[in-house]
Amino acid sequence: IAGSFNAAVKDAAVDALKKQGCNVLVSDLYEMKFKATATKEDITGAVKNPEHFCYGNETMLAWQEGQLASDIVDEHKKLNEADLVIFQSLTTFVNFFKFPMYWFSVPAIMKGWMDRVLTLGFAYTLEKRYSEGIFRDKKVMLSFTTGSHETMFRSNGINGDMNVTLWPIQNGVLNYCGFQVLAPQIFWAPTHLSPEAREGLLEGWRTRLQGLLNEAPLTFPPVDIFDEGKGFQLKPEVREKQAESHFGLTVGHHLEKPLPPHNQMKAGV
């Protein structure tokens, strides 16, 4: 929404990245009236198995045959050209999707974008996922506002650890498709801040944007440390090595140990 803090965040990024020579494209899902629900209407031709409709398989076949809905095809083209995707609001190509955190996740319209655009076959397969994923040459990051203060998202805060909140999106969606996931840009509770404090947040964002394209991504375990023959469990030698560590491997692979600090929020930590 024009005039909102999220709009100011988007504008700051567009300006900073264009000055670095990036071709920037903003996808405003609300302005586009993007359809959030994944339905049979996403396929323009006849479905292959109408009696037992499987959205993933049917849309994969439709993608292969050029029979996906035009709005999905348009987003596929953007992703194919992108070097960096910022969910905030793609670099030769940057696309922004603006969002505040809703109910500890993304808004329905953005979840619908993920459901519909990250099509089986196009964005991932059982053979091409995680570190072997289709988008492993592309970077991605989340940039969002919260309604609660930072203290409330700490490990001892009432909302719980933000690293845990981020794991399903950053690992289960972005890393799953192979993206190199940059540390998120979080604007804590801007509605509770003074105009001067909000401007300070924007200035910090502008500073980060100057080196964003060279940032190291967050670390996720590679596929080859899991044993496919044993149901994709960590290989014994990996578990033995990890046994010497005080912390688990990641937020998700905690191995019943303390979570590694800032695992989903800072690279190299």
What pLDDT digit, counting tens, does each position of 201-216 carry? 999 999 999 999 999 9
If residue 178 lies in a helix (H) or strand (E), which one and from where to where?
A: none
Mutual angle of helices 70-81 and 108-117, in 10-degree steps: 80
3-state secondary structure of 41: helix
User: How would residue 96 be classed by pLDDT, with cut points 50, 70 and 90?
Assistant: very low
How far is Cα 259 from Cα 247, in angstroms, rounded to an integer? 6
For residue 216, what pLDDT is reported? 96
Handedness of CA 174, 182, 192, 163 (dihedral sign): positive
In this prediction the pTM is 0.92
Q: In the predicted model, is pLDDT for residue 269 greater than 70? A: no
For residue 1, what pLDDT is reported? 56
How far is Cα 124 from Cα 139, in angstroms, rounded to an integer? 15
Q: Is 3.40.50.360 the CATH number for 5-217?
A: yes
Task: Give the pLDDT confidence of 5-52 residue by residue, as tens digits.
Answer: 888 888 899 999 999 998 898 888 888 999 999 999 999 999 999 999
Task: Give the pLDDT confidence of 106-149 residue by residue, as tens digits.
Answer: 888 889 999 999 999 999 999 999 999 999 999 999 998 888 89
